[in-house]
Amino acid sequence: MLSAYRLREEPYYRPVGDEVGLFAAAAAARLPMILKGPTGSGKTRLLEHMAWRLGRPLVTVACHEDMSAADLVGRWLLEPAGTVWQDGPLTRAVRHGAICYLDEVVEARQDTLVAIHPLTDSRRMLPLERTGEVVRAHPDFLLCVSYNPGYQAAQKDLKESTKQRFGALAFGYPDPAREAEIVAHEAGVEAALAARLVRVGAASRALVAEGLAEGASTRMLIQAGRLIAAGIGFVPACTLAVATPLTDDPALRDALAALLDAQATG
C-alpha cells in the first residue's frame, strides 16, 4: 500500500553520537520522537536512514500555517459515483505501519496538532470525526516531528503538554572532522577542499555573535562543494550557496566575503 514511500537504497548518514541506537530503541518502544536542531544539521537524513534501517515506509509532511487537520487525516471527495473518503498522509501511515514525519511541526496551527494527541499516548489511535471511524495504529507506526528551536517564535512553540508525549533528540553541527567527512562524501570533493568548506562554516557560525541570524549549515557547505565539483570557483560557489543566502545585511556580507577570501587559497 505504501510501496512508493519505501526507500530503495540506504541513505548515507554519519552518526555524531549514539543517536542511531537511541532512535532504534525509541522505535522498538513505539515512543514518538522529536528531532530538534538547526536547519541542515541532519534531522531529516537521520530519519531517512532509520526508515531504511528499520524497513519502514517514510511518509513526510511539510507543515505550514495553512495546514488543516483534514490535510493530515483526510477528507471526503466528490467522485462521479458519489462521495468517497480519502485518507490523508497521517491516516495512511497509521493504518499501514509507516513512519510519519511532520517536518517543521511548529509551523502548523495548534488546533491541527490536537489531532496527533491520541497517537502519542497508550491509546495509539486516530479518531476520524468525519467518518466516525477510530483507526488503531499499526504496530510499526511511528510518529516523528522536527523543528528548529532557533527559528521558532513563542507563539509557535510546541505546548508543554505536547512535548511531554515525545522522546527527543537534539542536533547540532558535527565536529570539524566528521563534518568534513560528510561534506566530502555528499559533495564528491576531496578531503582538503571539504576541510576548507568546513572552516568557512565554522567562521560563519562565529558571526552569529555579531548579528548573523544563523551560520552556514552542513547542507549549505555540501551545496557549495557540489558547485565547486561542477567547475565553479571556490569564492563564487561559496558566495552563491553560503554567503548571499545567509544575510542581506551589507556589513555581514562583507564579513562573509572576507572569510571566503581567507579560505580561497587553502
Do 77 and 145 have their domain in common? yes
Do 180 and 73 have their domain in common? no
Q: Average pLDDT, stretch 214-233?
A: 96
Do 39 and 161 have their domain in common? yes
Q: Which cell numbers in the block locate residue 99?
A: 513512519
Q: How far apart are the C-alpha atoms of 145 and 260, rounded to whole Å?
A: 35
Least confident of 57-61, 212-216, 223-227: 212-216
Do 185 and 135 have their domain in common? no
CATH number at residue 144: 3.40.50.300
Structure confidence at residue 154 as a pLDDT band (50, 70, 90): very low
> What domain range includes position 194?
176-263
Do 124 and 54 have their domain in common? yes
Do 145 and 88 have their domain in common? yes
Q: What are phi and psi of 125, to 5 degrees?
A: -140, 160
pLDDT digits (tens, 9 = 90+) for 57-99: 999 999 998 888 889 999 999 888 889 999 999 999 999 999 9
- Structural domain count of the chain: 2
pLDDT digits (tens, 9 = 90+) for 97-150: 999 999 999 888 877 888 899 999 999 999 999 899 999 999 999 999 999 886
How many C-beta atoms lie closer than 10 Å to residue 163's C-beta? 13
pTM confidence score: 0.89
Q: Are strands 82-87 and 74-79 parallel, antiparallel or unpaired?
A: antiparallel
Do 156 and 200 have their domain in common? no
Q: Alpha helices of the chain — where are they, by DSSP H? A: 19-28, 43-54, 69-73, 89-96, 110-113, 160-163, 176-187, 191-206, 218-229, 234-238, 244-246, 250-263
Contact 225, 232 (CB under 8 A): no
Last residue of a domain, one of 170, 205, 224: 170
86 vs 74, 75, 97, CA distance in Å? 5, 6, 17
Q: Average pLDDT, stretch 242-260?
A: 91
Last residue of a domain, one of 170, 199, 228: 170
Q: Are strands 33-36 and 142-147 parallel, antiparallel or unpaired?
A: parallel
Do 200 and 240 have their domain in common? yes
Do 136 and 248 have their domain in common? no
